[in-house]
């Protein structure tokens, strides 16, 4: 997996991730690049200085800033890892129900990390998986949030409920989100870009919460909807 850009490579180094090598454009002269090169070398990571055309050929984003790190594929966490990490507090988990666009997944990961979400759950089927694009769009946030990939989302909801979590689907037709109680052990389910939360998954939820809409278009981008819902939960949890 390729990780591109100064900030993303720096976040990798902070997390002590295993990095095979970093391609660095050889003619970089700005101070930020020089500092990062020194940090990479001080971490005993192999630096390969290459011409600009090599970077441009390897870069998928075309915004690498002259840095491309090569790392092994993302290692997903187990739900138990997230629950165990929340033993001494009220956990906050987000389930993504058929989010197919890796750009949306990356944006959601970034939002959730900023909001202090303890873990995200995605499905193995009909879901974007963690790849280079997701890492790039998350702007390094992926290194700081636990992402779990499960075979069956509905079984995961049952498991979370058995462990004391209240599960709410973010979907039209429910209680206004600003009136719902989103404190305590909480799991929010965010639906796919076109289909929303699936019917069987909605039936598993303890309730449905809705973001009020006043325009002519009755839906938000999945990552935007996730941001609104997650930060309403944050607002309630820090003010209780």
Provide the domain limits for residue 167: 79-239
Look up the CATH number of the domain holding residue 222: 3.40.1280.10
Of the residues 71, 91, 106, the one at which a domain ends: 71
Asked if residue 216 and residue 117 are part of one domain, the reply reads yes
Asked if residue 96 and residue 66 are part of one domain, the reply reads no
Asked if residue 152 and residue 62 are part of one domain, the reply reads no
Asked if residue 141 and residue 113 are part of one domain, the reply reads yes
Average pLDDT across the chain, whole number: 92
Of the residues 33, 52, 71, the one at which a domain ends: 71
Look up the CATH number of the domain holding residue 50: 3.30.1330.30
Asked if residue 52 and residue 133 are part of one domain, the reply reads no
Asked if residue 86 and residue 155 are part of one domain, the reply reads yes
Query: Which burial class, exposed, middle or buried, applies to 90 when counting CB atoms under 10 A from its CB (0-12, 13-18, 19+)?
Result: middle
What is the mean predicted confidence (pLDDT) over 112-122?
97
Inter-residue contact 233 to 184 (CB < 8 Å): no
Q: Say whether pLDDT at 83 is over 70.
A: yes
**Domain count for the chain:** 2
Asked if residue 66 and residue 96 are part of one domain, the reply reads no
Entry pTM: 0.81
Asked if residue 91 and residue 65 are part of one domain, the reply reads no
The tens digit of pLDDT for each residue in 91-108 reads 999 999 999 999 999 999
What is the mean predicted confidence (pLDDT) over 44-56?
94
Asked if residue 189 and residue 84 are part of one domain, the reply reads yes
Asked if residue 167 and residue 131 are part of one domain, the reply reads yes
Could you tell me whether strands 166-176 and 186-191 are parallel, antiparallel, or unpaired per DSSP bridges? Answer: parallel
- What is the structure's pLDDT at 153? 96
Task: Specify the range with the lowest mean pLDDT, choosing from 9-18, 77-86, 121-130, 159-168.
Answer: 9-18
Q: How confident is the model at residue 8 (pLDDT cuts 50, 70, 90)?
A: confident
- What is the structure's pLDDT at 166? 97
Asked if residue 67 and residue 145 are part of one domain, the reply reads no
- What is the structure's pLDDT at 16? 66
Asked if residue 123 and residue 200 are part of one domain, the reply reads yes
Of the residues 51, 71, 91, the one at which a domain ends: 71
């Amino acid at each position: 997996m390729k990780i591109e850009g100064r900030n993303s490579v720096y976040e990798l180094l902070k997390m002590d991730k295993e990095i095979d090598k970093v391609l660095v454009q050889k003619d970089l002269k700005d101070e930020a690049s020089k500092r990062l090169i020194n940090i990479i070398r001080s971490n005993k990571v192999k630096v390969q200085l290459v011409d600009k055309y090599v970077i441009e050929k390897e870069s998928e984003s075309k915004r690498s800033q002259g840095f491309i790190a090569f790392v092994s594929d993302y290692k997903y966490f187990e739900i138990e890892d997230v629950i165990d990490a929340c033993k001494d507090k009220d956990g906050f988990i987000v389930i993504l129900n058929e989010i197919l666009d890796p750009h949306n997944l990356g944006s959601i990961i970034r939002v959730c990390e900023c909001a202090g979400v303890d873990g995200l759950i995605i499905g193995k089927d009909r879901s974007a998986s963690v790849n280079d694009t997701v890492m790039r769009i998350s702007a390094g946030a992926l290194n700081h949030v636990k992402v779990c990939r499960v075979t069956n989302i509905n079984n995961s909801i049952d498991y979370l409920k058995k462990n004391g979590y209240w599960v709410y689907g973010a979907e039209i037709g429910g209680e206004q989100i600003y009136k719902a109680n989103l404190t305590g052990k909480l799991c929010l389910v965010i639906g796919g870009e076109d289909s929303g939360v699936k019917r069987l998954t909605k039936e598993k939820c303890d309730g449905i919460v809705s973001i009020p809409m006043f325009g002519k278009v009755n839906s938000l981008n999945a990552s935007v909807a996730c941001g609104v819902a997650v930060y309403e939960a944050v607002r309630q949890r820090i003010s209780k």
